[in-house]
């Protein structure tokens, strides 16, 4: 009986996502490598991220940024939380924040109706969404002080359109 239960648990874990996805495996490597770069200059960090085939999505800089200024620059899905703002921007200095992205895949779905003979009927639509890995790095006085990695986000979860910046 125990053997059957163990087999069932292993089977369910494997089929329900207990196995780490390829994106998560890559993100683990990115996090590990970025951890070793804390305190390093931005040229070294940029070079490493570019070697992973990431491109710059957005960047901004400010001297001793206020909470309101940071929130103005936040993008949906990849912005700083209130707690992160308190921790990351606690010390005075010149901050540079850069978001990098890399396309990791595409997902698609079809919606519509199926008639009695199994054919699609009027109203069928196909949707697709690009999936990206995102890396956010924060430099204080040109040294890496913080990073965060999102292994798999759909383009709609972080795009939010173009914000007016004053």
**pTM above threshold 0.75:** no
> How far is CA 33 from each of CA 22, 82, 125, 141, 155, rounded to the nearest angstrom?
17, 26, 42, 21, 25
The whole-angstrom separation of Cα 127 and Cα 115 is 20
In this model, does residue 164 exceed pLDDT 50? no
Round to the nearest angstrom and report the end-to-end CA distance of the chain: 67
Burial (0-12, 13-18, 19+ Cβ within 10 Å), 139: buried
Return the pLDDT at 8.
55
pLDDT digits (tens, 9 = 90+) for 110-150: 666 676 666 766 666 667 778 888 999 999 999 999 999 98
HEC assignment per residue over the chain: CHHHHHHHHHHHHHHCCCCCCHHHHHHHHHHHHHHHHCCCEHHHHHHHHHHCCCEEEEEEEEECCCHHHHHHHCCCCCCCCHHHHHHHCCCCCEEEEEEEEEEEEEEEEEECCECCCCCECCCCEEEEEEEEEEEEEEEECCEEEEEEEEEEEEHHHCCCCCCCCC
pLDDT in tens, 69-123: 999 998 888 889 999 999 999 999 999 999 999 888 777 666 666 766 667 666 6
Q: What is the pLDDT of residue 138?
A: 96
């Amino acid at each position: 009986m125990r053997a059957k239960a163990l087999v069932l648990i292993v089977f369910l874990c494997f089929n329900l996502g207990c196995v780490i996805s390829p994106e998560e495996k890559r993100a683990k490597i990115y996090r590990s490598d970025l951890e070793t770069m804390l305190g390093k200059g931005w040229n070294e960090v940029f070079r490493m991220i570019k070697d992973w085939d990431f491109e710059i999505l957005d960047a901004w800089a400010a001297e001793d940024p206020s909470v309101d200024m940071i929130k103005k620059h936040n993008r949906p899905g990849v912005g700083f939380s209130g707690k992160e703002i308190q921790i990351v921007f606690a010390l005075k200095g010149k901050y540079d924040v850069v978001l990098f992205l890399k396309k990791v895949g595409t997902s698609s779905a079809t919606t519509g109706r199926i008639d009695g003979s199994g054919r699609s009927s009027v109203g069928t639509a196909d949707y697709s969404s690009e999936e990206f890995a995102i890396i956010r790095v924060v430099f204080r006085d040109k040294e890496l002080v913080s990073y965060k990695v999102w292994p798999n986000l759909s383009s709609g979860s972080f795009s939010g359109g173009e914000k007016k910046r004053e």
